[in-house]
Structure 1
Amino acid sequence: MASEEHKQLAHFLKNVHLCLRKASTKEGAEEAWRQHCENKDVLKHYAQCMEKLATTHWTASTTREHSSVTSRITWAAEFCYDYFINKGYISHRQKDIEISEKINITCDVDECHSQPIKLIDVGSCYNPFQCYDFFDVTAIDLYPANNSVLQCDFLKVLTGHNTKISDMKVDQIQEKYFDVVTFCFLLEYIPTSELRIKACEKAYNIVKYGGLLIINTPDSKHVGANSKIMKCWQYTLANIGFTRIKYEKFKHMHCMAFRKASCKDIAQRWASLHRKPYMQYALHIPQDFNDNTEETIYSQEIKIEVEDFMELPFHE
């Protein structure tokens, strides 16, 4: 059973997401995002709420039998360990080679992975991956919750030949440098499909060939309820150059691992072969189609209902 504090924290985060989407509709996504990034009070409170939820309420709610709330981090870490340390990537690389031969293209990129694994955690908040010694973590966030996280607007940051950091702020991220990019409860924060795609395209630029994009996104409905949306994600990311190699639906979230294909044509081949009539180049979330309520602008006086928490997981 979620406590009142738990509900209030989740409600604030949900409300931030809602207001961003509504502002994007009214003013355009770029302008809404700019204004949001300048609102330091909201960003600070958001960071505090997220850290409190994750480190206190979600952790306290987790048991061995019912671990779907906090396992967004452990799921990502365990999959990365199996993929890199246990060399699971070898079979996926071999599959890429076989497909490249079928479509008569040359696939000779060097898949050289680092140890420790170079991971960039986008929207990190409080740097939850720092507890794993097999990761070399770069944690970034709009408003860091502590000094282990660098300030960075991932949608705006430049990419180039090296990473540039000044005064705890990331000014540029090195391309094809990271083994893993993680979006743990990030894409539902970003207000439009176009900006979510922009984030995934940037992830493609900074991850190595054969590296991973890990995406966790909350969803408390049954696995079939939003399956077409998730298939559109797979289709869209394939067109960007990512092959989905792992998918699990837990009670409160989807967990996905995408591999940057050895050649973009390989991933795009899947998109071409498996496209269904409903699939479009878009990264929508269910809330994109449900924002018909009156705007609340972060009000703390709103009655809390169960439906308010469809965007962030909590135990009933």
Structure 2
Amino acid sequence: MKTVASEEHLKLSSEIKALHSTLRQNTKKLGAKQAWHEHLQAKSKLQSYSKAMRELAVNHWEVNDRKQEETTSKSQQRSRITWTVNYCREYFLCEDLINKIRQRELRLLDELKIDCTDINGTIAAKQHPLVGRIKFLDVGSCYNPFKSFSEFDVTAVDIAPAMEDVFECDFLNVELGDCIEVSSGNDNKSSTINKLEVNGYDVVVFSLLLEYLPTSEQRLKCCEKAFKLLKNEGLLIIITPDSKHVNANAKLMKTWRYALAQLGLGRIKIEKLEHITCMVFRKCLDPEISLRWSRMHKEPYMEYCIEIPQDFDACI
């Protein structure tokens, strides 16, 4: 069942696309560092963008997704929020999935003759199903859509928060350290995160984030930070817009998998929904697990990069 976009929907989408296009054009003219700096200074434009994104997501995407999910099975779900929540519940709150993946990794490490003494000690100290709430970092959150799920302890960050419970944070340039560091906002504005905790999160979510960034280097930098912020066996969930047929962007997605494998992140799930592709990457027990995959499956077109379709459009 196709949903016809309303006039408001189209207007909001146009505003969002215009800001993306401007950032990409400025990056070509000024270079990535200077363009990003100027982008962060355009506070009024960023706030307008953030408001438009929230209205589009809440009043259009989520409403349409709920309507269509009511008439389809779970296997045909459309919502990026529902998809993320369901997978996190399956992975963290049930024993079968995480144990199956863990045992596969341990067998591989044994084959590679890698000492697993420390790894086994860490695993023995863990409790599964997970005790306590899932530590959840939502990057580029805008309006904190995951806050309503009680199993998540959410830290939501964005360069231009649309809600007061979202921290202002430039994830590209935020420092990493032993603990989170927050400074209070002024005039009822969102507080600012100045530092994030290394190995502090069970889940890091990039939902429609990487496409916002105009260069492969910036996208990789975000993924490198996510790897450092994740606990062992934690998840990086990436949701990317994709309205084409299921195999249209297959090479790009395989290159993403190859690049993230270089970091120690193994892809354990990919699913193409109607307008998005959803992927889950796991921080492996040892980086050699994903590095082995990258060596075995490398194709000539694969490089250490994260490219998106817009990178090949000379008009953007």
TM-score, with length taken from structure 2: 0.90
Q: Name which of 189, 192, 199 aligns with 2:212.
A: 189
Q: How does 1:260-271 map to 2 (within 5 A)?
A: 260-271=283-294
Measure, in 2, the Cα distance between the counterparts of 1:85 and 1:194. Answer: 35
Closer/same/farther in 2, CA of residues 18 and 114 from structure 1, 3 Å limit: farther
Q: Name which of 227, 231, 237 aligns with 1:208.
A: 231
Letter in 1 for 2:171: F
Q: How does 1:171-182 map to 2 (within 5 A)?
A: 171-182=194-205
Measure, in 1, the Cα distance between the counterparts of 2:78 and 2:134. Answer: 22
> 1:202-227: CA deviations, max 9, x gaps?
00000001000000000111111111
Closer/same/farther in 2, CA of residues 52 and 19 from structure 1, 3 Å limit: same
Q: How does 1:241-256 map to 2 (within 5 A)?
A: 241-256=264-279
- Residue 161 of structure 2 aligns with which residue? 144
Q: Give the fraction of aligned pairs with identical amino acids, expressed as a percent.
A: 44
- Residue 20 of structure 1 aligns with which residue? 23
Q: How does 1:124-163 map to 2 (within 5 A)?
A: 124-163=141-180
Measure, in 2, the Cα distance between the counterparts of 1:96 and 1:194. Answer: 29
Measure, in 2, the Cα distance between the counterparts of 1:69 and 1:83. Answer: 18
Shift of 1:281: 1.0
Contact 1:6 1:53 in 2 (8 A): yes
Letter in 1 for 2:156: A
- Residue 74 of structure 1 aligns with which residue? 82
Measure, in 2, the Cα distance between the counterparts of 1:57 and 1:42. Answer: 21
Measure, in 2, the Cα distance between the counterparts of 1:37 and 1:49. Answer: 17
Shift of 1:69: 8.7
Q: Are 2:92 and 1:84 equivalent residues in the alignment? A: yes
Q: Are 2:55 and 1:52 equivalent residues in the alignment? A: yes
Q: Give me the CA root mean square deviation.
A: 1.5
Contact 2:78 2:274 in 1 (8 A): no
> 1:174-215: CA deviations, max 9, x gaps?
100100000000000011000000000000000001000000
Gaps of 5+ in 2: 185-190
The secondary structure found in structure 2 opposite 1:128 is coil
Letter in 1 for 2:153: D
Measure, in 1, the Cα distance between the counterparts of 2:32 and 2:94. Answer: 42
Higher relative contact order, structure no. (Cα contacts within 8 Å, ≥ 6 residues apart): 1
Gaps of 5+ in 1: 294-316
Measure, in 1, the Cα distance between the counterparts of 2:63 and 2:201. Answer: 32
Contact 1:58 1:70 in 2 (8 A): no
The secondary structure found in structure 2 opposite 1:130 is coil
The secondary structure found in structure 1 opposite 2:262 is helix
Measure, in 2, the Cα distance between the counterparts of 1:187 and 1:260. Answer: 19
- Residue 251 of structure 2 aligns with which residue? 228
